[in-house]
């Protein structure tokens, strides 16, 4: 039987560290604050917003909802984001996406200040993934995968890893973060001719394709660590990952569950970025006072 790599203890460990940092910030008169920008009333956005607000409150981070109607003109939304960029009391900005079709996603991403980009969507954040430094933050889900590997003491160095999925949100940054930790990584995507061979040959397998049942018993081998990022819903409305859990779990060494795995850690990573942004803002303010 495989070890089940649950997200809750990982999120809890992140939460304990955050609480200590939040206390120090509050002693210095700073309340770390996240602004959540939502356009319209989409159910999935409302659910994510609710989860983020709850996680913020659990560690003493303030969360502010900034809402716009579904038909908001693009200029008005951009002006709202620019105002949040300029507001010193706001340390992080989460923009719930996808945005309505009349809004150009790239223009929105370019407008957000990388130092407040706690969700890791700006080019500044993607550059930080590549170089390990600079303004911006790692995309939360990619970092959540790494937090899980670290918490459960899974060695990346010299491991063969395969990542299924090549989006800027999850697949590519996870591929880079694993490479930066000296794993040897194969990336698979929709045009990969044979996913099962590199999947089976990996010691660490991450699936982030968004296809229920994509990873079955032909894609895994004994001793593997499987990180299932996928969030899919069956016709009965049940949430499942990319991995056929019942087929794969008896074969592999360890596996994240869905729900209760990567998703549980992702929101904690987001909030930890808000705390980090607040800490950086204090450090920058201190440095300019000393100049």
Q: Which residues of this chain interact with ligand NAD, rule CB under 6 A? A: 141, 164-167, 169-171, 188-190, 192, 195, 208-211, 214, 229-232, 262-263, 266
Q: Which is nearer to ligand NAD, 36 or 262 (CB)?
A: 262
Long-range CB pairs of 221-225, under 8 A, 24+ apart, other chains included = 221/251, 221/252, 222/251, 222/252, 222/253, 223/252, 223/253, 224/251, 224/252, 224/253, 224/254, 225/5, 225/149, 225/154, 225/252, 225/253, 225/254, 225/255
To the nearest whole angstrom, how small is the minimum distance from the Cβ of residue 232 to ligand NAD?
A: 6
What is the smallest separation between the CB atom of 41 and ligand NAD, expressed in angstroms? 20
Taking the least distance from each CB to ligand NAD, the nearer of 32 and 165 is 165
Q: Which tokens is 60 given?
A: 């003493």
Cβ proximity to ligand NAD: between 45 and 80 the closer is 45
With contact defined as beta carbons under 8 Å apart, do 80 and 68 qualify? Answer: yes
Alpha-carbon distance values, 45 to 34, 50, 51, 52, 281 (Å): 16, 8, 10, 10, 28
- Select 80 or 171, whichever has its Cβ closest to ligand NAD: 171
Task: For residue 179, give Cα distances in angstroms to 132, 158, 160, 169, 216.
Answer: 12, 10, 10, 16, 25
CB of 89 or CB of 210, closer to ligand NAD: 210
- Looking at the Cβ atoms of 28 and 190, the one nearer to ligand NAD is 190
CB 37, CB 93: distance < 8 Å: yes
Cβ 3 to ligand NAD shortest distance, Å: 19
CB of 216 to ligand NAD, least distance (A): 12
Q: Give the shortest CB-75-to-ligand NAD separation in angstroms.
A: 27
Coil, helix or strand at residue 228: strand
Structure token pair of residue 74: 């693009």
Tell me the closest approach of the beta carbon of residue 192 to ligand NAD, in angstroms.
6
- Residue for token digits 């992140």? 14
């Amino acid at each position: 039987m495989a070890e089940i790599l649950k997200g809750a203890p990982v999120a809890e460990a992140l939460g304990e560290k955050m609480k200590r940092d939040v206390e120090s910030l509050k002693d210095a008169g700073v309340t770390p604050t996240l602004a959540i920008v939502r356009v319209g009333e989409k159910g999935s956005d409302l659910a994510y917003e609710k989860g983020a607000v709850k996680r913020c409150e659990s560690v003493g981070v303030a969360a502010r909802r900034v809402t716009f109607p579904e038909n908001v003109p693009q200029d008005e939304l951009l002006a709202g984001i620019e105002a949040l960029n300029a507001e010193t009391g706001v340390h992080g900005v989460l923009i719930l996406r996808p945005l309505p079709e009349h809004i150009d996603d790239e223009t929105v991403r370019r407008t957000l200040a990388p130092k407040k980009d706690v969700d890791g969507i700006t080019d500044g954040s993607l550059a930080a993934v590549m170089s390990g430094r600079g303004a911006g933050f790692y995309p939360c889900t990619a970092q959540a995968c790494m937090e899980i590997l670290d918490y459960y003491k899974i060695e990346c160095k010299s491991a063969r890893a395969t990542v299924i999925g090549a989006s800027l949100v999850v697949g590519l940054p996870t591929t880079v973060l694993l490479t930066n930790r000296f794993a040897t990584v194969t990336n698979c995507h929709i045009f990969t001719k044979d996913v099962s061979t590199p999947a089976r040959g990996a010691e660490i397998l991450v699936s982030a394709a968004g296809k229920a049942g994509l990873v079955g018993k032909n894609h895994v081998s004994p001793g593997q660590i499987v990180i299932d990022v996928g969030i899919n819903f069956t016709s009965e409305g049940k949430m499942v990952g990319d991995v056929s859990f019942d087929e794969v779990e008896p074969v592999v060494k360890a596996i994240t569950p869905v729900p209760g795995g990567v998703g549980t850690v992702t929101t904690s990573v987001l909030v930890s970025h808000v705390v980090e942004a607040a800490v950086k803002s204090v450090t920058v303010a201190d440095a300019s006072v000393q100049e």
